[in-house]
A and B are shown apart, each in its own frame.
Chain A
């Protein structure tokens, strides 16, 4: 149920687009980070876009995923974006201060 798969990672131009799963918790977070980092070592990837379109649940593990990727790309001038963010996730962004490093794009 709701596991992340290879086709959930896509490189478009300089951007790694990650389609996040239905539920983001500690159980699945390690795998998402590992997969993402395999793409991030590639030279052409500068920015990361997290797509929350499918996501119904997120806890602090999601903050860890985003902060960790941000740290890896920001030193090379990369940026982190989020799309399809619902109210609950937006609130989690605000509470954690993540809205200062993630640009939420209206879709």
Chain B
């Protein structure tokens, strides 16, 4: 059985939570373990945040109680596309932006490599996607946007079981 969903949303930090909760809701009927769910949510959050802050340069987190800054009006109006396909218990996720793209993908994927240390970024985003998902592919070129593809098998138990 195949099941597919796609959402397109503005590249604003407000939507980071929305995106990962949407994916979580999409897969709940498969009864993923707590760890699988956390892994997927973190990976989605990393990819979506990258599109927002690196792809489109919408840097601010607007997470202030009751405040909508004018940054919102000045924000890059770009969109992030999030596509999920469930093929039995295999989840395929694509996070796509039309932002500025990545010059050297291999280098960008190295742990601790970041182009924005001044924004309190740690350069661990791709490392987490890689660690938490079964497969990760990044397609990007300057001016061409970025496409992140991730795969995770759900319902195989997690690292917890293996550890004990």
Contacts from A to B (Cβ < 8 Å)? 3, 5, 23, 25-31, 33, 57-61, 63-65, 67-68, 87-88, 91-92, 95-96
Size class of the B contact interface (CB-based, 8 Å) = 20 to 34
The chain B residues found within 8 Å of chain A, CB to CB, are 13-14, 16-17, 20, 34-35, 38, 41-42, 45-46, 49, 52-53, 60-65, 111, 119-122, 124-125, 127-128, 131, 159-160
A59-B42, A87-B160, A95-B124 known; A29+B131 contact, CB < 8 A: no
Whether the pair A26, B49 counts as a contact (CB closer than 8 A) is yes
Contacts of A25 in B (CB 8 A): 13, 16-17, 45, 49, 61
Beyond A26-B61, A31-B64, whether A60 also contacts B17 by CB under 8 A is no
A51 CB → nearest B CB, Å: 18
- The answer to whether A63 and B124 have CB atoms under 8 Å apart is yes
CB pairs A–B below 8 angstroms (30 shown): A3-B64, A23-B17, A25-B16, A25-B45, A26-B52, A27-B13, A27-B14, A27-B16, A27-B62, A28-B61, A28-B63, A29-B61, A29-B63, A31-B61, A31-B64, A33-B120, A57-B20, A59-B42, A59-B45, A59-B46, A59-B128, A60-B121, A60-B128, A61-B120, A63-B122, A63-B124, A64-B121, A65-B120, A88-B35, A96-B111
CA A65 to CA B17, docked complex, whole Å: 18
Instruction: Give the docked Cα–Cα distance between A91 and B35 (Å).
Output: 11
| Contact call A95/B131, Cβ cutoff below 8 A | yes
Contact of B122 among A31, A57, A64, A88 (CB under 8 A): A64
B-chain residues with CB within 8 Å of residue A63 when the two chains form the complex: 122, 124
A37 to chain B, nearest CB (A): 11
What are the residues of chain B within 8 A of A61 when measuring CB–CB? 49, 61, 120
Given the contacts A27-B14, A65-B120, A68-B120, A60 and B46 also touching, CB distance less than 8 Å? yes
Q: Would you give the shortest CB distance from B77 to chain A, in whole angstroms?
A: 18
B17 contact set on A, CB distance < 8 A: 23, 25, 27
Cα A95 to Cα B112 in complex, Å, equals 11
Q: Which residues in B have their C-beta under 8 angstroms from that of A27?
A: 13-14, 16-17, 61-63
Cβ contact within 8 Å between A3 and B65: yes
Q: Please tell me if the beta carbons of A5 and B65 are within 8 angstroms of each other in the complex.
A: yes
Contact of A60 with B41 in the complex, beta carbons under 8 Å: no
Distance A28 CA – B65 CA, assembled complex (angstroms): 10
